[in-house]
Structure 1
């Protein structure tokens, strides 16, 4: 048998460009996820910072917290409200007070006052739209905005979560009897302060937030209420109370009559005069 002559084959050698192409082809075969970090220099995703907004803060306090977190000049966040396009109810008239929901929000290099405010308002709307809160509000004939307003009073007046339902009942009972709410917290909001010392002269100020002189809820919320306060606003604890006063920390007294309430207020004043705690909160007609 004759064998056809074949010249010896030379082993092909890859050029530098060819070796690079082979290397990249192998990486593509292993998956694009392997290739991306190499091509982009091994970039690591940004770890968000955290911005905590506590329950009961007023809008100016939230604005200041955002300015500090984003290292912006004071007033930057407040100025951004007008152009942020916030999803507020018509009743709010562009004022986000009560809708800057207290929670922890992620902050990155892309965060702006508008994005953070939008997240807060979106969260508040979502909480107010939960079935329990929304259905409870409707049962009491309240709009979501009125629920937020009542919840903000509860947030400011209740010493702790355990008392929120009773404080809510006092407000509901007073509204049902067409009695002024007489809440010191709304006076404090009108005077831009936080104190337990409400004087007789304070109750005579000319302000729509003076619930000693005016009946019904104040025109806007007075702080940022949490979900517990919202829930209490629409599901108050059963009772006939019309008054309350925190005599000392952990001891809030609720009363159905003014005579009983006066006794509790007298004890509150004795404790304070004797150098006791000054953190008591006087409720309706507490002075």
Structure 2
């Protein structure tokens, strides 16, 4: 059955098309899961553009300030990390991404050279003569220490996953959860859908496929031809979709017990999880009303 375990683990790279869902109703009412992390929108759209302001600064002998460390927030994508390193080190755009070929990063075989998910969010001192290779190596080495230790490795095995699959689930949890308290429930939705052979249908994977961060996902978006389209493809996406932190990783290996299959953040602080699709439709309808009301208020100002 699609999406279920194969050879002791989940089929993370399965890309079988699923039956087309009904497109009746509005753009939002057909969505089975709803990305609730509004804060991540701000992070993706704004922080990456101001990454040089994130590090601690020091003043040199000529009175000029220069960064002494670089802070990588939870949930940043690799592209955002590359941009931040370029800006912090005052390098031409694209330099850090090009440096991957010579960085010799110690990534798992499943990553196939893609460091997404392994650029661990933390504060990294620049030290003397910092280079993209040094910073990327520090991030990946930190991730390996976090992910290959007993808690994560044992937790992944307990859930019939390998570590790379656990990191992939953690990246979805990081993108989808409205707050830390919801992470375990979001992880459970992922597991429940995988176990039932259901497509994940996560907007965050669509956003990753399209290289954007938004709460608006149209029916057309859900038909994009991409291995990251979790509306059309079964199982996990082929790689993580961002770089998760400790809390998301913990949720991925310790999902909260429950039977939930759907969730929607109606408004900040109000994320509703349910196993009943009819109830979920009612929650989505309320979400739509809240959005429409907010839109009218914004237009009136």
TM-score by length of 2: 0.75
Equivalent residue number for residue 146 of structure 2? 127
SS of structure 2 residue aligned to 1:51: strand
Equivalent residue number for residue 267 of structure 1? 286
Q: CA RMSD in A?
A: 1.5
Question: CA offset at residue 73 of structure 1?
Answer: 0.6
Identify which of 253, 257, 275 aligns with 1:256.
Answer: 275
Equivalent residue number for residue 87 of structure 1? 106
Question: CA offset at residue 142 of structure 1?
Answer: 1.0
Equivalent residue number for residue 5 of structure 1? none
Identify which of 161, 177, 180 aligns with 2:199.
Answer: 180
Equivalent residue number for residue 229 of structure 2? 210
Runs of 4+ in 1 over 4 A off after TM superposition: none
The structure whose Rg is larger is 1
SS of structure 2 residue aligned to 1:105: strand
SS of structure 1 residue aligned to 2:114: coil
Question: CA offset at residue 110 of structure 1?
Answer: 1.7
CA distance in 2, matches of 1:270, 1:83: 51
Question: CA offset at residue 99 of structure 1?
Answer: 0.5
Matched, 1:141 2:176: no
**1:42-86 deviation line (CA, Å, top 9, x unaligned):** xxxxx9811000000000100010011111111110000111000
SS of structure 2 residue aligned to 1:253: strand
CA distance in 2, matches of 1:48, 1:174: 44
Equivalent residue number for residue 45 of structure 2? none
Aligned residue pairs: how many?
232
Matched, 1:171 2:190: yes
SS of structure 1 residue aligned to 2:294: coil
Residues 48, 106 of structure 1: 8 Å contact kept: no
SS of structure 2 residue aligned to 1:252: strand
Q: Structure 1 residues 128, 277: CA separation in 2 closer, same or farther (over 3 Å shift)?
A: farther
Higher relative contact order (CA 8 A, sep 6+): 2
Structure 2 gaps of 5+ residues are 1-65
TM-score by length of 1: 0.79
Identify which of 215, 229, 232 aligns with 1:196.
Answer: 215
